[in-house]
Amino acid sequence: MRLFWLPTSDETDMSQLLQAAWGGVLAGSVYGLMAIGLTLIWGAVRLLNLAHGALYVAGAYAAWIVIDLGMPLAVGIPAAVIAAGALGYGMHATIIRPMLGRPGWDSATIIATVGVAIALQAAILLVFGPRVKQIPAVIPGSTVISSVRISYQGLVIVLVAVVSLAALFFYLRSSRQGMAIRAISQHMDAAALMGVPVQRTYALVMVISAGLAGLAGVLLSSVLFLSPTSGFTPMIIALLVTIFGGLGSVKGTIVAAYLIGILESSVQVYLGGAWALPALFIFIIFMLIVRPSGLFGVPEARRL
Amino acid sequence: MILEVVGLEAGYGPATVLHGVDLSVSEGEGVVVLGPNGHGKSTLLRTISGILTPRAGSLQFAGEEISAWRPDQIASAGLVHIPQGDALFGEMTVHDNLLMGSFVKAAWLERHERIERVYELLPQLKNRHNLVASNLSGGERRMLAIGRGLMTNAKLLMIDEPSLGLAPLLIEQVYEQIQSIKESGMAILLADENADHISGLADRVLLLESGLFVREGPADALLADEALLAAYLG
Amino acid sequence: MTTSDSISPRAADLIDRAAAPWRSPKWGAISSLGVFALILPAVLLRFGAGTFMVHLLISFFLWSVVAQSWNLVLAVSGIYSFAQIALFAVGGWVTGVLSMSFGWNPWLSLALAPIVTTVAALIIGLPSLRLRGVYMVLLTLAFHELLRNYVTTGPRVISGGGYGLIGVPRLDPGPLSGFSHLVPSYYLALIFFTVATFAIWWVFQSPIGVAFAALRDSEGYAVGRGVDQFRIKLFLFGFSAFFTGLAGGLMTHYLGSISQSIFAFSVLINVLAMIVIGGWGSFGGPIVGTALLLGLQEGLRDLSDFRTLVLGLALTSVAVLAPSGLWPIVRDGFRDFLDESADVEAESEGGRALLADIGDGSGNDSSPQSATPD
């Protein structure tokens, strides 16, 4: 007697599973880059940056300009990071710095960042027009591993993302500035009393966060298409990841990014693409009811 | 004179808490500000360290006017404030909390030697070095806050009510540590609610009432006057 | 940061008056406005451009209720809901589908629209309103996206094959059937606007409104005071969804159609801009903002992309530089116009100064400027 009913494992099942796993790792890597930026800025400054998707798009367009000028993507990627980072610095100078410490911070910053998102998108639309663009792959071509097509570009994306995430993780864990970012997230006054320059650190966090959004933008736009509004869905998923991982927790966010990537990709493979987003939302709503403080359960006052 | 405060006024919103305070600390000196709760001790320290902006008066530290400086600039200059309630980085380990004390460049370069010295002075921290700060006991947290203060390149350490919320046995220990820090040559400005434990580290004592210093004098003379202390501190 | 936790009753009274001058309505001014509004179409429709003006007024009545009820949710009770347009669409689709595809009497289906919308809001609100504000942003944006997806790809009765609902029957105008459909639509929208605005005003000056106005920036304080925020928030969320859904239903019958384009981000932003530019959290702000934004929209119709750019920049600038929006300016102008006693003016000035002081001294709960105890 069989205790568990198992489907006979044939070729398609295996390849579906691999397909789902590979898609999940790929998506999870990019979501991780997006979400870690949101988490950092939320953890440090308590800013819900609804312009994160616009920064993603801005970075991708910066890379597109560079590539359009005939330079390789290897130049385009740093260009995206720098452009988005510069915009992030601008947001610090015009929004965070003047508004810090005012009452109504939560709502005012949500409005202000929505405004930035709209303005950036509209500006990009005015300059580049509504037509969809695509970023070329670093290495074109693909390989087939047990009937799953794995593009070299996908491998590059995963590699860049994993290296960036690991670098960020160690930067936050043991560098002087990185520790200061964590410290300021946990206790701003105490950090200042240890000599940490508060505003400059916030600017640094904003630049890192925006730069990561730009990086995610250029990477994902080489797989998906790029349009002035194509940052919206990645931002929503990054928000899901951030909340799922427990707002403000770096480790939780990285784990959550891959879990959500794999969940999304499995739903796509087994149920079809149209179900991916609804399934994610239902999953997250269920999780919020069961475990309101997220995967790594960071209660209110704790951060990063 | 390492710290020179003249005519300092400060407060919150519509309320003025300090009404013109004069205070000075010389190098290596231990100065204790005594006063009941709510009379401005914490406000005084918070204003000196830059968390609060003074409304009037001058603050001079090591010969420089610091009243318009940001807290991090003041801390970098060597005027270090250990606030009430420890203000630790709750999610960081004991070790990382200590390292953050050495955030200022000059101190960061010597962080390994400094941390060894702190572990020597406060051995209970060494045993706990991998524990997250929010999991420490009250006494350990206080020790960590003091240890973190020692990790800085402080020329003057300001400590706010080190005994608050601690069990009597721990209070003894904390004051002993502060005393030995003082004996190593560090200038100390300590705010306290009662005079029970300060005799070993105080050179001078000031009594603060309603935002004004009402008495000032050498520690031995003032601390001997029990009637006076009883009248002020209750 | 310390909080000034107690203020004298007199100061509280001053603050109340400064913060909420609308709590004593000027019946004279209101009734003359009412008479003016009643005879307005009779005057306007005599001119060539009058038809368009009446259309614009109808849009104003409906959209201003959407903005007002969102303001109640977003700015007054601090529920960061971005589901406002989605709720508007629920109302529109409910009555549209029922009257068009199922042949219901439009009046009956219209009556169902706000009810279904309220139920939808309660379903969103129940799991999410206990959570922190940012979760609400996500869940409501998600709801917006899911609904957009559904009405685009869902069953043909709902999606209209991707074109939305076209040819939704008009409401039977009854005794006014002799006029062009603009006239009955105008009066219906006017009645709706009046009732909804009055209901929202009622909430503003009720203890709920005042409590929220005082507490919206300090959740911790509110919890400390034992306010059961969840139930009040749920009530306000449902309350505002009711009017939003009704507005959606009325709009659908008035225009005879509703399509997926309602879900465009720019629509959501437009309504948000009405609130923010008009005056976040104030009673009159959204009304002023709706008038301004609708006017701009018509005036700058050809410059749509630039308009979005300007709108975005305006949102950010207002949030950073003038958080209370245009409303204080309009209100003070109005007060001078009505020439009120200088006494009240002086007192409310005092109240404002006090408010400013308190705002200065108290740390905002979630602002990073205040230290978190660990």
Q: What is the pLDDT along chain B (234 residues), one digit of tens a residue?
A: 899 999 999 988 888 899 999 999 999 999 999 988 888 899 999 999 999 999 999 999 999 999 999 999 999 999 999 998 778 998 899 999 999 999 998 889 999 999 998 998 888 889 998 999 988 888 888 889 989 988 998 899 999 988 887 888 888 888 988 898 898 889 999 999 888 888 888 899 999 888 888 888 888 888 888 878 887 776
How high is the mean pLDDT of chain A? 86
Distances (CA, A) of C217 to A298, C204, C366, C371: 22, 17, 8, 16
Q: Which residues does chain B have within 8 Å of residue C15's beta carbon, measured at their own beta carbons?
A: none
When CB atoms are compared, the residue of C2, C4, C374 closest to B90 is C374
Contact across the interface for B134 and C374, Cβ inside 8 Å: yes
When CB atoms are compared, the residue of B14, B89, B91 closest to C361 is B14
Flag whether residue B101 sits within 8 Å of chain A, measured between CB atoms.
yes
Flag whether residue B84 sits within 8 Å of chain A, measured between CB atoms.
no
Compute the Cα dihedral for A232, A233, A236, A242 and give only its sign. negative
Contact across the interface for C374 and B12, Cβ inside 8 Å: no
Type and span of the H or E element at A304: none
What pLDDT is recorded for position A8? 43
Range scoring the smallest mean pLDDT among A12-21, A259-268, B12-21: A12-21
Task: Identify the chains in contact with B, defined as 3+ C-beta pairs within 8 A.
Answer: A, C
More confident residue, A109 or A3: A109
What pLDDT is recorded for position A5? 38
Distances (CA, A) of B17 to A88, B10, B66, C327: 40, 6, 20, 36
Alpha carbons B144 and B151: distance in angstroms, whole number:
10
Flag whether residue C136 sits within 8 Å of chain A, measured between CB atoms.
no
Burial of A215 (0-12, 13-18, 19+ CB in 10 A): buried
Residue A303 has pLDDT above 70, yes or no: no
Among chain B residues, CA nearest to A198: B72
Range scoring the smallest mean pLDDT among A11-15, A109-113, A130-134: A11-15
Flag whether residue C362 sits within 8 Å of chain B, measured between CB atoms.
yes
Contact across the interface for B70 and A192, Cβ inside 8 Å: yes
- Residues 139-178 of chain C with CB under 8 A from chain B are none
Task: Identify the chains in contact with C, defined as 3+ C-beta pairs within 8 A.
Answer: A, B
CA distance C216 to chain A (A): 8
Query: What is the 3-class SS of chain C, one letter each residue?
Result: CCCCCCCCHHHHHHHHHHHCHHHCCCHHHHHHHHHHHHHHHHHHCCCCCHHHHHHHHHHHHHHHHHHHHHHHHHHHCCCCCCCHHHHHHHHHHHHHHHHHCCCCCHHHHHHHHHHHHHHHHHHHHHHHCCCCHHHHHHHHHHHHHHHHHHHHHCCHHHHHHHCCEECCCCCCCHHHCCCCCHHHHHHHHHHHHHHHHHHHHHHHHCHHHHHHHHHCCCHHHHHHCCCCHHHHHHHHHHHHHHHHHHHHHHHHHHHCEECHHHHCHHHHHHHHHHHHHHHCCCCCHHHHHHHHHHHHHHHCHHHHHHHHHHHHHHHHHHHHHCCCCCHHHHHHHHHHHHCCCHHHHHHHHHHHHHHHHHHHHCCCCCCCCCCCCC
What pLDDT is recorded for position C351? 40
When CB atoms are compared, the residue of C127, C323, C374 closest to A301 is C374
CA distance C373 to chain B (A): 7
| Per-residue model confidence as pLDDT tens digits over A64-108 | 999 999 888 889 999 999 999 999 999 999 999 998 878 778 788
Residue A151 has pLDDT above 60, yes or no: yes
Section A257-271 average pLDDT:
89
What pLDDT is recorded for position C324? 82
Contact across the interface for A122 and C312, Cβ inside 8 Å: yes
Contact across the interface for C2 and B89, Cβ inside 8 Å: no
Residue segments in chain C with a per-residue pLDDT below the cut of 70: 1-26, 176-179, 213-228, 301-302, 304, 335-374
Among chain B residues, CA nearest to C356: B13
Flag whether residue C36 sits within 8 Å of chain A, measured between CB atoms.
no
